[in-house]
Chain A
């Protein structure tokens, strides 16, 4: 995968500046107790960026443990149906069933380098929790996962998986009992156990250097996709589309195309019951700049800066914040962000299942459902690269209940 072909440009996504900012977003807004740990993580991460032995170890695990490179699949039936060329990047086929494993393995290795043996994580859909539990089982680390009690109900299969892998799942019952509250609780644990514990954040959010770390570990998606689509079509895609919760899968694939000006980057958030209701999670569309979970970014908040509860049928997108780099890409208009409702996501879920034989996770089903309608407004036969960030096993119960009641 390392050969750069003629016509390929060297990828050069911006690093955050020395204050950990992407434009005005990012930074490090956490209790002082975490400062020394964040500095240590930053130092060690900058070291491993240049450390060949680290990347060799990671590459081996990516190939033999995660099963990379994941395929790029031409969705013939669906392409015909929508009169476009739809290419699907199959992160659903990565070990544990979602892109989250790319980041979890990378950070678990980093934690080992730093010398921390107790790992904590938050999880929404349970995919990051499962990925972290998996990495910890394989690398022999203790693993504690915080999960909102509402999410425990709607993503039950993933709780069994985490426990089978030896992780301890701690239910979080504060606030909306979803992802935001799980992150709060993980940060409180971290502040308390900072000297023994490494926090593996699951998305491109959090205080600097986390958004940068997560992007770098997810950028493998973009690197592979770019190579694969060039191999198969001899051209770059016209559009790259991914769902955005905190934004890790999206930033991973965007990073491969950021310098390719002809490629439009599109992120799709969850608009729950609709953008005109108060039950949505469309942070970039409806939010405003503020501070949540350690960084400055778009957030859903009231006029006094209290964070609002998000809503989405998908636990992985049900978050009132978003990664700082997406906020930056939105403001400079390098990427465009839209939102898809619960119903649109369900439509995408069903459609991919019956036309292509692939059951998607509810999170990327938002991006797919969106694209089915949206692509009517663009010229026909465009090359569209859609990132299928995960598979839908975890969502079968909630989706079948919904479909019965609709």
Chain B
């Protein structure tokens, strides 16, 4: 209920930054998480880097590659959350990954360790609703929220199924396509969110391609939260080490 309530009870705009674990640097990544918390984010989505991220555009492909080169793996992601929690990070944390990394780690071991380290929810980019049952069963066992992705072309049946399974929030993908900054027309995702809301009270977030304050103002008219990934990563991509925290904080603050 932690994620659901945090978004539902939030009086300001709910912004969810996405950042690949260990990007741009492994060393000050936990400081970066604290900076994202402090600048007013409602929840942080941390990406588990994957060698072949099918749902990502160039930006997150890039951050994923850098993270892998920096030595980040599934174990490291869980460990990072544990360390951040120890240091006092309070904000809800959702891991976002690809199914094979979770399978290779062992689904049960993954969920158990994620729970123990303080992870609150999980998104799997290449696990559609109809394949999600084995994982959802284990997530439920460990009370980790399952956050399904829905697409603007999802059928009524899939939408219904997703709303039955979702606990933390439902992630509506704004466009057909991969992640990455772009100009977005929100008509179709608005329809999707309205459909979803007919079936559930679980909050709904919109993501993919969101980069500006005006995007977020638009989204908040019909949804509960906005996810910002590529835009943040692009900002950090060429930032010098000692400026990372400052640039990230400013970027998030200016979205409100």
- Choose among A174, A184, A194, A304 the residue that contacts B105 (Cβ–Cβ < 8 A): A304
Contacts of A30 in B (CB 8 A): 54, 126, 128
A203 → B minimal CB distance (Å): 16
Task: Give which listed residue, A35, A180, A304, contacts B130 with CB less than 8 A.
Answer: A35
A30→B50 CA distance, assembly (Å): 14
Name the distance in Å between A3's Cβ and chain B's nearest Cβ. Answer: 42
Measured CA separation A37–B152 after assembly (Å):
13
CB distance from A25 to the nearest CB of B (A): 13
Rounded to whole angstroms, the CA-CA distance of A14 and B104 in the bound complex is 28
* A299–B103 CA distance with the chains assembled, in angstroms: 12
Interface assignment of B158: CB less than 8 Å from any CB of chain A: yes
Q: For A194, list chain B residues within 8 Å (CB).
A: 153, 176
How far apart sit A211 and B226, CA to CA, in the bound complex (Å)? 37
B74 near A33: Cβ-Cβ < 8 Å: no
Any A CB within 8 A of the CB of B125: yes
- Segment at the B interface, from A54-62, A96-104, A105-113, A185-193: A185-193
Q: Which residues of B contact A27 (CB under 8 A)?
A: 131
Complex Cα–Cα for A35 and B93 (A)? 28
- Write the nearest CB–CB distance from A126 to chain B, whole angstroms: 22
- B157 to chain A minimum Cβ distance, whole angstroms, is 10
> Please, which residues of chain A bring their CB within 8 A of the CB of B131?
27-29
CB under 8 Å from chain B, chain A span 275-297: 290-294
User: Shortest distance in angstroms between B137's beta carbon and chain A's nearest beta carbon?
Assistant: 16
Contact B176 A191 (CB under 8 A): yes
A304 in contact with B153 given A31-B128, A184-B52, A292-B100 (CB within 8 Å): no
- On whether the beta carbons of B177 and A175 are closer than 8 Å, the reply is no
In the complex, the answer to whether A305 meets B150 with C-beta atoms within 8 Å is: no
> Closest approach, in angstroms, between the C-beta of A191 and any C-beta of chain B?
6
Question: Bound complex: CA of A292 vs CA of B50, how far in Å?
Answer: 11
Interface residues of B in 135-163 (CB under 8 A from A): 148-151, 153-155, 158
Distance in angstroms between the alpha carbons of A303 and B101 in the assembled complex: 9
Name the A residues within 8 Å of B104 (CB-CB): 290, 301, 303-305
The answer on a CB contact under 8 Å between A188 and B54 is yes
Residues of B within 8 Å of A32, CB to CB, are 128-129, 148-151, 154, 158, 173
CB-based contact A290/B55 at 8 Å = no
Q: Which residue of B lies closest to A303 (CB)?
A: B104
CB of A35 within 8 A of CB of B176, answer no
Residues A307 and B127 in contact in the complex (CB < 8 Å), given A33-B173, A188-B178, A192-B176: no
Interface string of A29-55 (1 = CB under 8 A from B): 111111111010000000000000000
Which residues in A have their C-beta under 8 angstroms from that of B74?
A: 304-305
Least CB distance, A278 to chain B, in whole angstroms: 15
Cβ of B153 and Cβ of A192 under 8 Å apart? no
Query: Taking CB as reference atom, which chain A residue is nearest B53?
Result: A184
- Looking at the assembled complex, report how far the CB atom of A188 sits from the nearest CB atom of chain B, in whole angstroms: 5
The CA of A32 and the CA of B124, in the complex, are separated in Å by 10
Residue B247 CB within 8 A of the other chain: no
Pair B103/A305 contact, Cβ less than 8 Å: yes
A36 CB contacts on chain B under 8 angstroms: 153-155, 158
Across chains A and B, which 3 residue pairs bring their CB atoms closest together, nearest first?
Answer: A305-B104, A192-B177, A306-B51
Q: Which A residues form the contact surface with B (CB < 8 A)?
A: 27-37, 39, 174-175, 180, 184, 187-188, 191-195, 290-294, 299, 301, 303-307
Binding site for A on B (CB under 8 A): 50-52, 54-55, 57, 61, 68, 73-75, 98-105, 125-131, 148-151, 153-155, 158, 173, 176-178
Cβ contacts A to B, 20 pairs, < 8 Å: A27-B131, A29-B128, A29-B131, A31-B54, A31-B55, A31-B126, A32-B129, A33-B176, A33-B177, A36-B153, A180-B52, A187-B54, A188-B178, A191-B177, A191-B178, A194-B153, A303-B104, A305-B102, A305-B104, A307-B100
